[in-house]
Amino acid sequence: MPGTLSFDDLKSRVTDGTIDTVLVCMVDMQGRLMGKRFHAVNFVETSYEETHCCNYLLATDLEMATPEGYAATSWRAGYGDYVIKPDLGTIRPVPWLEGTAMVLCDVLDHHTHAPVPHSPRAMLKKQITRLAEMGFDAMMATELEFFLFADSLDKIREGGFRDLRPISGYNEDYNIFQTTKEENVMRPIRNHLYAAGLPIENSKGEAEAGQEELNIRYSPALDCADYHTIAKHAVKEIAWQHGIAATFLPKWHRDRVGSSSHVHQSLWQEGKAMFVDADDDLGMSDLMKHYMAGLIAYAPDYTYFLAPYVNSYKRFAKGTFAPTKTVWSVDNRTAGFRLCGENTKGVRVECRIGGSDLNPYLAQAAMLAAGMRGIEDKMVLAPPTRGDVYEDAGAGDIPQTLRAATENLRKSDFLRAAMGDDVVDHYTRCAEWEQEEFDRAVTDWEIARGFERA
C-alpha cells in the first residue's frame, strides 16, 4: 500500500518537481483541517520546523466567530500566536490535488513551546500516554457516514439550503446497483485515500437515500483520528471536484435517517489483543469488562464530545439505528454500545452514540479516559441488555439535548481529573456558545407554525 512520505522522500519529490505545494495543517476544535499552503521548496528548507497561526483557531465556532468567555484567548489578550509544528511522520501525498503533499501539526504555546492542552491532537496524545503508562496500546476504527447531494455546495447555499436533492432516490443500504451509479465519486475517494496512505477497507450505501459509509481499517488511536480527519476532508473536496455536495451534518431532514460515526475500540499489549479470553462465555477478558463498564458509566459525562452541536441530538430517535440508551448488548444495533466479534480474536466494543459531526480526537480521548477509569476502579460490567433497547425503560438515557450534555460536561469530576479543569472549561464554553447562537435563531419551523395561527 502506498504510505506516508519520509522527509527525505518529500525533499526528493520537491527537487524533481513532483510536489510543489505542502498543506501544513492543524486540527481545530470542530475537527477541521486549518493551516497554510507552503511552496514546497520553502517548506523543506525552513518551514518544516514550525510556522505560526492566530490562537483564535482553537477558540472559534463553525462560522469562525470570536466568542467571549475563553480563558485561553480573547480580544482583551490580543489574539496572539500559536506555533504549529509539523509532525514529520504524517507527511503524505494528496493525490486528488495536483503536485500536493500534506503534513499534520501539533499546536504549541508560542512562548514555551509546550503543547496547548485543549488542542484536539494534544488531548488524545495525553490519554494515549496515560494508557501506555498502564502498559497498553489502543486500537481503534471509525466509520464515516455522510450524504451526497446532486447539486453543488454553491447552488445549495444560494438556494437557502432548501429543496435538497440526495444523489439517489431510495434507501441504498448495501445496494450494489445504486452505488454503481455513484462510483464516479466514491471510487476516487477510496483510491485517492488509499494512495495517500490510509488503510481503506470499503465503502457502501447506507440506510437512506444518498447516504454513504466509508470504512477504514483499525489502527493505533492517533493514526485512527488522523485518518478520520483526512478522509472527511477528502470526501468534501473530491465531491466538490465532481460538482456535487457532501455533508456530515448528522440530521439534515426530520424524516430521514441521520449519519453516525461509530467508534470501534480494543486494547493491546506487545501485539497481543488484551480484550480476548477464550474461557469467557462471550470471549471477553476481565480487562475488557472493566473498560466497558467505565465507557458506559461515564457516557453521559462525555456525550458532548460525541455530539457537539444542537443538530447532533436530532439524530437520537427510536427505530433509526441511532441509540437512545447508554447500555450494551451483543451484536445489537439498538444499544449505545455493541459487542462485536464475540468469541473471536477480534472481540471489541463499538460505541454507536457518536454522530458524523464528531471530532475524532476529542471523542477517542474521552472514551479512552472513561475506559481507563473503569480499569483503575475495577468497575463491574452489568449484564448485556437484550431485545429492543429502545423500549428498555430501566436503561440509562443518552442526554437528549446539547444543553443537557453541556451541564454534564461542566459537572464531570471524572473528565476534570482526566483532562484538566482548563480543558473542560474551554470546551464547556464552546458548547455554551453553540447553544447561545441557536437560541438567538428564528427557525423556519417557528415561522411556518405561528405566522398566521399564533
178-229 pLDDT per residue, tens: 999 999 999 999 999 999 999 999 999 998 999 999 999 999 999 999 999 9
Distance CA 374, CA 296 (A): 9
Phi/psi for 299 (5° steps) reads -55, -45
92 neighbors 334 (Cβ within 8 angstroms): no
CATH topology of domain 7-116: Ubiquitin-like (UB roll) (3.10.20)
Domain with CATH 3.30.590.10 in the chain: 127-446
- Average pLDDT on 111-129 reads 96
Measure the CA–CA gap between 147 and 124, rounded to whole angstroms: 28
Is there a contact between 349 and 264 (Cβ–Cβ < 8 Å)? yes
pLDDT tens digit string along 141-157? 999 999 999 999 999 99
- Nearest-5° Cα angle at 331, 189 to 169: 45
Mean pLDDT (whole number) for 270-290: 95
User: Under 8 Å CB-to-CB from 304, ≥6 apart: which residues?
Assistant: 402, 405, 406, 408, 409, 427, 431
Helices within 159-254 (DSSP H only): 176-181, 183-195, 221-241
Return the pLDDT at 320: 79
Q: Break the chain down into helix, strand, coil percent, rounded to 5.
A: 40, 20, 40
Report how far apart, in Å, the C-alpha atoms of 125 and of each of 15, 21, 161, 215 are. Answer: 34, 28, 38, 23
Q: Which helix (H) or strand (E) holds 371?
A: helix 360-376
Specify whether the CB–CB gap between 369 and 415 falls below 8 A. Answer: yes
Task: Report the mean per-residue pLDDT for the chain.
Answer: 94
Looking at residue 318, its pLDDT comes to: 80
pLDDT at 8 over 60: yes
Mean pLDDT on 33-40: 97
Give residue for cell 468534501: 236
**Which of the four pLDDT bands, split at 50, 70 and 90, describes residue 79?**
confident
What homologous superfamily does CATH list for 127-446?
Answer: Glutamine synthetase/guanido kinase, catalytic domain (3.30.590.10)
Q: Is 406 helix (H, G, I), strand (E, B) or coil?
A: helix
What's the confidence (pLDDT) of residue 67? 92
Q: What are phi and psi of 278, to 5 degrees?
A: -65, -20
- 39 has a pLDDT exceeding 60: yes
Q: Where in the chain is the domain with CATH 3.10.20.70?
A: 7-116
Q: Which of 256, 262, 253 is nearest to 333 (CA)?
A: 262
**450's grid cell:** 405561528
pLDDT in tens, 376-416: 999 999 999 887 878 777 778 889 999 999 999 999 999 99
Q: What is the structure's pLDDT at 392?
A: 76
pLDDT at 282: 94
**Short-list 414, 392, 415, 383, CA closest to 289:** 383
Indicate if the pLDDT at residue 436 is higher than 70.
yes
Amino acid (one-letter) located at 321: F
How far is it, in rounded angstroms, from Cα 367 to Cα 275?
16
* The pLDDT of residue 2: 66
- The residues facing 342 across adjacent strands are none
CA distances in angstroms from 235 to 95, 232, 239, listed in the order given: 13, 5, 6
Cα distance between residue 195 and residue 219, in whole Å = 17
**What are 18-21's contacts with CB under 8 Å, separation 24+?**
18/99, 19/93, 19/99, 19/100, 19/101, 20/99, 20/100, 21/97, 21/99, 21/100, 21/101
Lowest-pLDDT range, 140-144, 198-202, 307-311, 313-317?
A: 313-317
| Angstrom distance (rounded) from CA 184 to CA 239 | 10
Report helix, strand or coil for 166. strand
pLDDT of residue 333: 80
Write out pLDDT tens, residues 106-117.
Answer: 999 999 999 999
Nearest Cα neighbor of 30 from 267, 343, 428, 360 is 360
